[in-house]
Amino acid sequence: MKGSYFGLFLTLMTSATGWAAEEPYFYSCEAKAGDGITIILNRYQLHEYECNFEKFLELNKLKRTDPLLVGKKYQLPVLIYHYNGKSIRSTLAINDMETALRIADYNQVILNKNLRKSDYKSSGILWVPYHELNCPDPTTKPLAMEAKPVKVSGAANGGLTSIFGSEYGNLQKKSDKLRGKVFYISSGHGGPDPGAITKINNRTICEDEYAYDVSLRLARNLMEYGATVHIVVQDGSDGIRNDDILTCDNDEKTMGTLTIPINQLARLKQRTDAVNDLFVQHRKEGVKEQTLICIHVDSRSEGERQDVFFYHCESSTAGKKLALSMQQIFQEKYARYRPGAQYKGSVSCRNLYELRVPLPTTLYIELANIKNEADRKRILPSTNRQALANWLCEGLVK
pLDDT at 183: 96
- In sequence order, what are the beta bridge partners of 183? 229, 291
pLDDT at residue 311 is higher than 60: yes
Please report which confidence band the pLDDT of residue 22 belongs to, taking 50, 70 and 90 as the band edges: low
Please report which confidence band the pLDDT of residue 256 belongs to, taking 50, 70 and 90 as the band edges: confident
pLDDT digits (tens, 9 = 90+) for 53-69: 899 999 999 987 778 89
The domain locations on the chain are 2-134, 156-397
Please report which confidence band the pLDDT of residue 161 belongs to, taking 50, 70 and 90 as the band edges: low
Fold for 156-397, please state it. Aminopeptidase (3.40.630)
pLDDT at 137: 55
Q: Which helix (H) or strand (E) holds 75?
A: strand 73-82
Question: Is this structure's pTM higher than 0.85?
Answer: no
C-alpha dist (Å) from residue 356 to 111, 178, 244, 349: 52, 25, 34, 10
The separation between CA 148 and the C-alpha centre of its own chain, rounded to angstroms, equals 17
pLDDT digits (tens, 9 = 90+) for 263-301: 999 999 999 999 999 999 899 999 999 999 999 999 999
Torsions phi, psi of 234, nearest 5? -135, 145
Q: What is the DSSP string of 349-383?
A: E---HHHHS-SSEEEEEEEEETT-HHHHTTTSSHH
Please state the rounded mean pLDDT for residues 209-218.
97
Please report which confidence band the pLDDT of residue 391 belongs to, taking 50, 70 and 90 as the band edges: very high
Please report which confidence band the pLDDT of residue 35 belongs to, taking 50, 70 and 90 as the band edges: confident
pLDDT at 170: 80
Please state the rounded mean pLDDT for residues 222-246.
93
Q: What is the DSSP string of 86-112?
A: S-HHHHHT---HHHHHHHHHHHHHHHH
pLDDT at residue 33 is higher than 80: no
Average pLDDT taken over every residue of the chain:
86
pLDDT at 143: 31
Residue 268's Cβ-side half-sphere holds a number of Cα atoms within 13 Å equal to 10
pLDDT at residue 18 is higher than 70: no
pLDDT at 165: 87
pLDDT at 398: 85
pLDDT at residue 223 is higher than 60: yes
Distance from C-alpha of 206 to C-alpha of 211, rounded to nearest angstrom: 9
pLDDT digits (tens, 9 = 90+) for 104-140: 989 998 998 889 999 999 999 999 999 999 886 544 3
- In 3-state terms the chain splits into helix, strand, coil percentages (rounded to 5) of 40, 20, 45
Please state the rounded mean pLDDT for residues 203-227.
95
pLDDT at residue 147 is higher than 60: no
Distance from C-alpha of 129 to C-alpha of 141, rounded to nearest angstrom: 14
Query: Of the ranges 135-149, 153-167, 257-271, 328-342, which one carries the lowest mean pLDDT score?
Result: 135-149
